[in-house]
């Protein structure tokens, strides 16, 4: 199927919270078409809240624009055609096959309560084939392994044929091999289809090697934004994470090497 191509995402002065607790303050961020920006930051810095606010899932102040159009003014179905979301902890339905689960991604393109059309089945088949899920179409989603479920969640999002893909910790609960497989897949699809990707990533080494740009959130504000080599510095990790680490250059970007505390020589 023809890919729609990526869109430019702008976040302008976004603030959000929970009750009286402010979580995000005046966040400003831009992701160019076909780019991949990974939002990093210590726990509680507001990474997931930022993604949910971009999607209009969470109340917020400020503006989010997709190719210049505010998302808050888009009809819900149109917004779902532009933006697709793979949450950190997806609700895995009981009794639903993988094929039917991925087909749910076509909902924004169909009339309410209508059966999947030929074009819907074709898109789903193409996505499942690309994500190597075709052989699991009749398996219940609840019986899949963690890595397979992650691919199914990603397939459902891609079946929406979005222009922007938002991923909240796509490698959460995955071992290193499966985490690399998922990120390799996202990067390949981004390059092939021109998708714009905005993600959160907990693993700083993976963030530094897969994303084009990083945005470091700390205490609800973007304190650094730019190329991974500019954002991932030992000084920034110490200041905002309280971490001892060495940043090591690599062929695909910087990797973060945690350092243990020096031994106390005192008697």
Cβ(105)–Cβ(159) below 8 Å: yes
Look at residue 36 and tell me if it is in a domain. yes
Cβ(29)–Cβ(225) below 8 Å: yes
Look at residue 264 and tell me if it is in a domain. no
Q: Is 3 a residue whose pLDDT tops 70?
A: no
Is the whole-model pTM more than 0.85?
yes
Which residues sit opposite 29 in a β-bridge? 11
Measured CA to CA, the distance from residue 93 to residue 181 in angstroms comes to 24
The per-residue pLDDT for range 224-259, each reduced to its tens digit, is 999 999 999 999 999 999 999 999 999 999 999 999
Q: Is 37 a residue whose pLDDT tops 50?
A: yes
Look at residue 169 and tell me if it is in a domain. yes
Structure confidence at residue 1 (pLDDT): 46
Q: In this prediction, what percent of the chain has a pLDDT beyond 70? A: 97
Look at residue 3 and tell me if it is in a domain. no
Look at residue 267 and tell me if it is in a domain. no
The per-residue pLDDT for range 145-163, each reduced to its tens digit, is 888 888 899 899 999 999 9
Question: How far, in Å, are 78, 202, 244, 246, 263 from residue 260 at the CA level?
Answer: 50, 19, 7, 11, 9
Domain containing residue 215: 9-258
Q: Is 114 a residue whose pLDDT tops 80?
A: no
Task: Kindly state the tokens that stand for 19.
Answer: 């009750």
Structure confidence at residue 131 (pLDDT): 86
Measured CA to CA, the distance from residue 176 to residue 164 in angstroms comes to 26
In this prediction, residue 265 has a pLDDT band, given cuts at 50, 70 and 90, of low
Q: Please state, as a whole number, how many other Cβ atoms lie within 10 Å of the Cβ of residue 69.
A: 14
CATH number at residue 14: 3.40.50.300
Under 8 Å CB-to-CB from 67, ≥6 apart: which residues? 7, 8, 163
Which tops the pLDDT comparison, 89 or 247?
247
In this prediction, residue 4 has a pLDDT band, given cuts at 50, 70 and 90, of low
Structure confidence at residue 65 (pLDDT): 95
Q: Count how many domains the chain has.
A: 1
Look at residue 4 and tell me if it is in a domain. no
Question: How far, in Å, are 8, 21, 134, 182, 237 from residue 194 at the CA level?
Answer: 11, 37, 23, 17, 31
Question: How far, in Å, are 111, 134, 228 from residue 250 at the CA level?
Answer: 49, 35, 11
What pairing do the DSSP bridges indicate for beta strands 164-168 and 196-200?
parallel
Look at residue 64 and tell me if it is in a domain. yes
In this prediction, residue 172 has a pLDDT band, given cuts at 50, 70 and 90, of confident
Burial of 41 (0-12, 13-18, 19+ CB in 10 A): buried
């Amino acid at each position: 199927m023809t890919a729609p191509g990526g869109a430019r995402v702008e976040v302008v002065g976004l603030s959000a919270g929970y009750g009286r607790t402010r979580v995000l303050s005046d966040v400003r961020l831009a992701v160019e078409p076909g780019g991949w920006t990974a939002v990093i930051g210590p726990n509680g810095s507001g990474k997931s809240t930022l993604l949910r606010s971009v999607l209009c899932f969470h109340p917020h102040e400020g503006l989010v624009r997709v190719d210049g159009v505010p998302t808050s003014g888009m009809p819900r179905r149109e917004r779902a055609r532009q933006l697709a979301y793979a949450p950190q902890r997806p609700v895995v339905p009981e009794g639903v096959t993988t094929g039917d689960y991925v087909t749910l991604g076509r909902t924004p393109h169909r009339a309410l309560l209508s059966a999947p059309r030929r074009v819907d089945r074709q898109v789903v088949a193409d996505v499942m084939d690309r994500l190597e899920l075709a052989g699991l179409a009749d398996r219940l989603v609840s019986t899949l392994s963690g890595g397979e479920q992650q691919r199914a969640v990603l397939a459902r999002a891609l079946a929406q044929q979005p222009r922007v893909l938002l991923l909240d910790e796509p490698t959460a609960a995955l071992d290193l091999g499966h985490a690399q497989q998922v990120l390799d897949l996202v990067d390949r699809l981004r390059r092939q289809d021109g998708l714009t990707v905005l993600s959160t990533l907990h693993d700083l080494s993976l963030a530094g090697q897969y994303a084009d740009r990083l945005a470091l959130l700390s205490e609800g504000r973007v304190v650094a934004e730019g190329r991974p080599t500019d954002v991932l510095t030992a000084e920034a990790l110490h200041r905002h994470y309280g971490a001892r680490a060495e940043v090591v250059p690599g062929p695909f970007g910087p990797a973060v090497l945690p350092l243990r505390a020096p031994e106390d020589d005192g008697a």
